[in-house]
A and B are shown apart, each in its own frame.
Chain A
């Protein structure tokens, strides 16, 4: 079946540090891949997405590239801010439907 594995948290970084959150997936064909972000006390918001191999999704300084050969979709940001503190979820949507398979989430804390 489909599954998403992302790195365990929590991740604690100083402001302006480089961020990488690893995400790998198992799925047949070419699923769509997503990163969602959940700020404290809020629902999930789409951060970025990629729908085919080698696509790069980007938003708010975050980037992730759809790597079919390594079945990965790692999230990166060059310089994190305190306001980026949140839980980040990697997810996939299989080609056969709309159900989202989520990773378990990675909590990020950015300190001043």
Chain B
């Protein structure tokens, strides 16, 4: 089944404790992206990647890092989480070159930073 998976689905952590949220897709998509969803703000892009070893900042990159060492994986790293990073996070992927720009989303990771 074609899908985007994220782990963990739920995470409660404390301020300053480094964490990684994994994202993996099995559709051989070149483009991958991370969004955060906050009430009243909709979804905002954090980082994106056009292919292996190619990443770039989205609208709200502060406090986050990403890497793209393999085509299928795009982990989101919070090196020193803070309470304002409490949010619902979504990973998405899309094939390049099809002209449709449709993105496929993972199920989400709900992060709470205390």
A is bound by B: yes
Binding site for B on A (CB under 8 A): 32, 34, 36, 42-46, 49, 51, 89, 93, 98-100, 102-105
Determine the main DSSP class of B at the interface with A: strand
Counted as pairs of residues, one from A and one from B, with CB atoms less than 8 Å apart, the total is 55
A-contact bits for B43-60, CB 8 A (1 contact / 0 none): 111001010000000100
Chain A residue at minimal CB-CB distance from B9: A41
A34 to B103, CA, bound (A): 10
Taking CB atoms, residues of chain A closer than 8 Å to B74 are none
Taking CB atoms, residues of chain B closer than 8 Å to A42 are 107-108
Taking CB atoms, residues of chain B closer than 8 Å to A46 are 102-104
Q: Chain B nearest CB: distance from A95 CB in Å?
A: 9
Q: Contact at B42–A49, with CB atoms within 8 Å?
A: no
A103 to B40, CA, bound (A): 10
